[in-house]
Amino acid sequence: MPSDEDLGPQLSGRLGYLLKRAHLGLAELHEEVLAPFGVSDRELAILLLLDGREPESQQQLAHRLGVDRTTMVALIDALERKELVARRPDPADRRRNVIALTDAGQQTRRDATRASDEAERRLLHDLDDAEADRFRALLRRVARPRRD
């Protein structure tokens, strides 16, 4: 990724550029800290989505993650291969797969979440605690779902 001097003030101050760089920076940190646990940031999101909920179908999960159900198939495939989640047919409706965290999945969720916390801390490294809280609070308001 280029530095500010490369870009010039016209582009380097634009919100789109800043958000992209922050997002990309966090993605890189996540890749680094999650590597020991064998999951991607994306997969951690699914583990978090599954945790502490009634077991759900792939389709419900896909909807909550904001992807198509066809996209969900490969994501669950990967997590199942790693034995972090299990598919079982819903007895009440055998068209459905119910997805649940395995014990290993629970453990990975805990460990990977701690690692992700560390990635977030490193992203906000230049901010003191009060500034970090302020940033998070403002970002939450900016990230509100659009009301079109």
Partner DNA sequence: TATTGTTATACTCTATAACTATA
Partner DNA sequence: TATAGTTATAGAGTATAACAATA
Binding footprint of DNA on the chain (CB under 7 A): 42, 57-59, 62, 66-74, 76, 87, 93-97
Residue 66 vs 129, nearer CB to DNA: 66
What's the maximum distance between 2 C-alpha atoms anywhere in the chain? 61
d(CA 129, CA 127): 7
Cβ closest to a second copy, residue 41 vs residue 80: 41
Task: Give the type of residue at 104.
Answer: A
Using an 8 Å Cβ cutoff, are 25 and 124 in contact? no
**Closer to a second copy by Cβ: residue 70 or 91:** 70
Alpha helices by DSSP H, listed for 35-144, are: 41-50, 58-65, 69-81, 103-123, 129-142
> Which tokens belong to 39?
């999951």
Residue 2 engages a second copy in binding (rule: CB under 8 A)? yes
Residue 121: CB atoms within 10 Å: 12
Shortest spacing between CB 48 and a second copy, in angstroms: 4
Binds 57, which of DNA, a second copy, none (CB < 5 to 8 A, cut-off by type)?
Answer: DNA
Q: Which residues bind a second copy (CB under 8 A)?
A: 1-4, 6-8, 10-11, 13-23, 25-30, 41, 45, 48-49, 51-53, 63-66, 116, 120, 123-124, 126-127, 131, 134-136, 138-146
